[in-house]
Amino acid sequence: MDNPVLLRLFVSQFFLCYFFIAITPLKEPKRRNTVMVISGAIIITLANAVIIQLLGLRGFYIRFYFFTLILPYLVLLSFFARTKGAKLLFGILTVEILGNVAIVNGLFFSYLISGKDNPVLDVIIRIITFSLILPIFLRYIRPKFLQILEKLDKGWTFLNAVLMVSYILSYYIAFVPSPIMYRADYFPHLYINILLSILIYVIIFLFFIQIQSKFETERDKQLLSIQVSALANQSVKISASEDKMRILRHDMHHHFNIISDHLSKGNIEDAQNFIGYCEDELRKSVIKQYCKNRTINAALSYYIELAIENCITIETSIEIPEIINLNSAELAVVFSNGFENAINACLSIEDKRKRRIVLKAKYTQKNLIINISNSCLNTVKFDKNSIPVATKQGHGIGIMSITAFANKNGGILDFSKTDDIFTFRLFLNIN
């Protein structure tokens, strides 16, 4: 390449384009939009190369590259990114600040080694710096950054203002009144500003971690409330059954006396009718056994009877023993939440003949499989992890509880909707 300055431009933009794509959530279809962003980045880079060739590096490009390079990237990504406005700008500034680390290293070490501006040596140092930044970026910065984008909805204007001040200060030190390779004594100032920029990021990340911790604490409180509510429902069901049994035992001798009186008077039909009445009352007091685990069975009994009362057809096949290598109360809450969501979906169907829930679960020494499918005519939205998204305030806590249980126990969740059937599956390896 005749102009080594252009080589410096192409290498830097190659890495920065990759960082832009990695840190920016793109719209669907992602593959096509990724190709479009890469194509746009190539056009922007070539246009800047032409500007450098025609108008020069020092005379024009250094002064106006924000308008010829950074602003076009902002416009390009705004077409294809899911994030907009301040969030998108924050991502671009993040990448530019990371790029500044490599650029300053290239300028400094090329000057340190050769005593002057050496573009070829500069490029080599930049490649080494970018290569060192890349694994740190992918492992630590990118995941936390994407979490911040997803969770944080306010404060982006302030964060951008802070980064913008740092970026402008870096530009001023590096290029005003002349490029820093001609003012080598200003390299320490530039590195101090870069360290301050990194410190700002550390503070932002720590602040976010604190916010996330508070969010998770609040979520845990909500999940605990759900568990207490579910266990309370189970206790009410068991207590009601026990109360009926105590009443039946108390009244048993009266019943025997009535039956004996009917028989002594020869009223066989009356005696049989009364015995049938006693059998019905006894049957109502018994909790039907859907599985051998009493805690889970109590939860299932409550919701299955609730479903039957609402004209929902139920089909069950549950093989869970009394003793399992999981917290029975927590697993009971999973069944409760899954079944309650299924009931709510069925209740929105006016034609009662179409209301149906199928529950299948099997526990072995190696794994646990739960499958709950139900009729569902409503539109279901899923997030990027294929988890159903609540559309109403206060809803979605049950899904959060199920997700928390799966994460805690290393489970695999699958939610899907096909042909008006919503299906929830949970698979756990049992250690």
Question: Which CATH number characterizes residue 295's domain?
Answer: 3.30.565.10
Residues 72, 174 within the same domain: yes
Q: Would you place residue 223 in the very low, low, confident or very high pLDDT band (cuts 50, 70, 90)? A: low
Residue finishing a domain among 220, 241, 261: 220
Q: Residue 428 in contact with residue 413, Cβ under 8 Å?
A: no
Please indicate, yes or no, whether residues 39 and 167 belong to a single structural domain of this protein. yes
d(CA 98, CA 93): 9
Q: Is 232 part of any domain?
A: no
Tell me: do 300 and 196 sit in the same domain: no
Torsion of CA 134, 140, 144, 145, to 10 degrees: -20
Overall average pLDDT of the 216-238 stretch: 62
Instruction: Write the pLDDT tens digit of every residue in 329-353.
Output: 788 888 988 999 999 999 999 999 9
Answer whether residue 169 is part of any domain.
yes
Last residue of a domain, one of 220, 249, 268: 220
How many domains does one find in the chain? 2
The CA distance from 22 to 82, in Å, is 13
- On whether both 161 and 82 belong to a single domain, the answer is yes
Q: Is residue 73 part of a domain?
A: yes
- Tell me, yes or no, whether 308 and 194 share the same domain: no
Query: The whole model's pTM is what?
Result: 0.57
Instruction: Examine the domain organization and report whether 302 and 205 are in the same domain.
Output: no
3-state secondary structure the chain: CCCHHHHHHHHHHHHHHHHHHHHCCECCCHHHHHHHHHHHHHHHHHHHHHHHHHHCHHHHHHHHHHHHHHHHHHHHHHHHECCCHHHHHHHHHHHHHHHHHHHHHHHHHHHHHHCCCCHHHHHHHHHHHHHHHHHHHHHHHHHHHHHHHHHCCCCHHHHHHHHHHHHHHHHHHHHCCCCHHHCHHHHHHHHHHHHHHHHHHHHHHHHHHHHHHHHHHHHHHHHHHHHHHHHHHHHHHHHHHHHHHHHHHHHHHHHHHHHHHHHHCCCHHHHHHHHHHHHHHHHHCCCCCCCCCHHHHHHHHHHHHHHHHCCCEEEEEEECCCCCCCCHHHHHHHHHHHHHHHHHHHHCCCCHHHCEEEEEEEECCCEEEEEEEEECCCCCCECCCCCECCCCCCCCHHHHHHHHHHHHCCCEEEEEEECCEEEEEEEEECC
Residue 239 in domain: no
Q: And the tokens for 36?
A: 């479009």
> How many residues are given for the chain?
431
Mean pLDDT, range 404-422, rounded to an integer: 88
- 243 within domain boundaries: no
pLDDT at 273: 77
The pLDDT-based confidence of 80 (bands split at 50, 70, 90) is: very high
Q: Which pLDDT does position 297 carry in this prediction?
A: 85
pLDDT at 395 over 80: no
The residue range of the domain holding 28 is: 4-220
Average pLDDT on 397-425 reads: 87
In a domain, residue 241? The reply is no
Q: Do 201 and 347 sit in the same domain of this protein?
A: no
Rounded Cα–Cα distance for residues 287 and 320 (Å): 16
pLDDT surpassing 70 at residue 307: yes
At 246 the pLDDT is 64
Domain match, 188 and 315 both: no
Residue 45 lies in a domain: yes
> 134 and 212: one domain?
yes
Is it the case that residue 410 has pLDDT exceeding 90? no
* Same domain, residue pair 211 and 296: no
Tokens of 256: 């025997």
- Same domain? For 213 and 295 the reply is no
Final residue before a domain boundary, out of 185, 220, 255: 220
What is the average per-residue pLDDT within 197-220? 76
Of all residues in the chain, the percent with pLDDT exceeding 70 is: 83
The answer to whether residue 31 is domain-embedded is yes
Are 211 and 302 within one domain? no
